[in-house]
Each structure stands twice: as C-alpha cells, then as structure tokens.
Amino acid sequence: MTAGQPEPPRGLFGVGSAGLVFEAIVVFLAAVALASPGHGSHATGIAYLLALGVILVVVGGLLRRRGGVAAATVVQVLVIAAGAITWPMYVVGVIFAAIWAYWLRLRRTTT
C-alpha cells in the first residue's frame, strides 16, 4: 500500500496466502499425474510444475511484504501458461486466476 492508505485487514492476507498454498497443492498433484505411467517422460514439464508449486508457496508466505501481491499476480499467469504442458492446467489456471481477481477486488474494497 502507498503512504496514507490504510492496510487491508490481516485476515485477508491469511485468506490470500491459503489460496496460494491450495493452488500449489493442485500444481503439485498435476506434476504427480504427469509423472504417472502412460504419460511418457516429461521431465521438463514436471520440473516446471514442481518449481511453480514451490514459487506459489514462497509467494504465499511473502504476500504481506512489499511487492508480494504483484508477484502473486504474475504467478497466476505462469499457472495458466502451465496449460502448455498439460491442458487441464489451463482450466485450473483460469479458475485460480478468477479467485485471485476476486481476492484483489476484496482487498481494494476493504481498505
């Protein structure tokens, strides 16, 4: 927030962080599904999904810090881009991006 603007309620940051952690769990599960037999060897895609899951957890922890909200917003684009690896990630990415957009709207209206 800029100087002079009130901070959003602390609980709102907890909800945002929890949402990012839930998103990370879904991304980790997608990596496990991609690694299962029958999908071939997609080492690069699995590594991308695992790294993305770790980034989501880290950004969730840094949400209250300066730039944390912007970083979490950028990560939503990376989750949608994971659809290039496996198409269901497009759906997951759009759903979580919509949830994130709602959280951003809530954050703006509660200050």
d(CA 12, CA 92): 22
Residue 107, pLDDT > 60, answer yes
- For the residues 94-105, what does the mean pLDDT come to? 95
pTM of the model: 0.87
Residue 18, pLDDT > 90, answer yes
Q: Chain-wide mean pLDDT for the chain?
A: 90
d(CA 101, CA 19): 12
d(CA 82, CA 89): 6
Tokens for 67, please give them. 């730039």
Least confident stretch, 4-8, 40-44, 57-61, 81-85: 4-8
